[in-house]
Amino acid sequence: MLATYLGRPLARRFLLTLCITSLILPIATWAETGSQIEIHYAPQENLETVDVQEIGRAELSIDMAAYVLSDKEIIEALTDAAERDVVIRLYLDKSQFSEHGPVGGGLIESLLAHPNVLARVKGAGVLMHLKAYAVDGQVLRTGSGNFSHSGLADQDNDLILITNQAIVDAFEANFERIWARAQNVGALDASASGEAR
């Protein structure tokens, strides 16, 4: 019966219109609220430039969940933000922190030692694999690109910027949950005690 119904030109047109409308209405409603989405792709575009620009816009806070945090430009942009009195919370993966963490006077060590920077390492369990941050609770950066030079400039990755408040709030709520995990270790404590290494 459905095949007979869909075989009729008017029925096909109606079904197609219904499908398109169901896709366009949520997008139109989202656009009306002032929400935006931007998608950037590496290696056609250097995602490092996009991240540095977004971090540079921060005025109040940055909550970042970083599987890898080793890119020099990103670390310097975060340090600059901390110098502007932006409060930065970093949530890091144990295995990657052990590989890319403080090594005696490096950029990451200076960032982690800054008084406006709080950093925790996921102490146990599966990977903390997020590559995302929220700026001032208003813009969410997410995507597949790690905060490493190769992840931002050389590999096929995407970076997505979203200004929909409900989506940013959902990220922040999740960030609060993972930030509060009982097994978390302070990054400098983990580095000093060798727990993350």
Kindly report, residue by residue over 160-193, the tens digit of the pLDDT.
Answer: 999 999 999 999 999 999 999 999 998 877 665 5
Domain ranges across the chain: 1-32, 35-193
166, 29 Cβ separation under 8 angstroms: no
And the tokens for 180?
A: 């509060």
Residue 2 reports pLDDT greater than 50:
no
Among 52-61, 82-91, 120-129, the minimum mean pLDDT is found in 120-129
Residue range 131-144, pLDDT digits in tens = 999 999 999 999 99
Question: How high is the pLDDT of residue 98?
Answer: 80
CATH for the stretch 35-193? 3.30.870.10
Question: How high is the pLDDT of residue 191?
Answer: 63
Coil vs helix vs strand at 33: coil
* 71-90 mean pLDDT: 97
* 21-42 mean pLDDT: 65
Residue range 35-80, pLDDT digits in tens = 899 999 999 999 999 999 999 999 999 999 999 999 999 999 999 9
**SS3 sequence of 88-120:** EEEEECHHHHHHHCCCCCCHHHHHHHCCCEEEE
Q: Which of 168, 160, 164, 162 is nearest to 45 (CA)?
A: 160
Higher pLDDT pick, 15 / 178: 178
Q: How far apart are CA 19 and CA 76, in angstroms?
A: 47
Q: Which residues have a Cβ under 8 Å from the Cβ of 76 and sit 6 or more positions away?
A: 107
And the tokens for 52?
A: 């540095």
Distances (CA, A) of 45 to 39, 75, 135, 150: 11, 19, 21, 12
Question: How high is the pLDDT of residue 189?
Answer: 72
Residue 1 reports pLDDT greater than 90:
no
Q: How far apart are CA 90 and CA 101, in angstroms?
A: 12
pLDDT band at 105 (very low <50, low <70, confident <90, very high): low
Q: Give backbone dihedrals phi and psi of 23, rounded to 5 degrees, phi first.
A: -85, -40
Query: 3-state DSSP helix/strand/coil percent for the chain, to nearest 5?
Result: 45, 20, 30
Among 101-105, 109-113, 186-190, the minimum mean pLDDT is found in 101-105
Question: How high is the pLDDT of residue 104?
Answer: 58
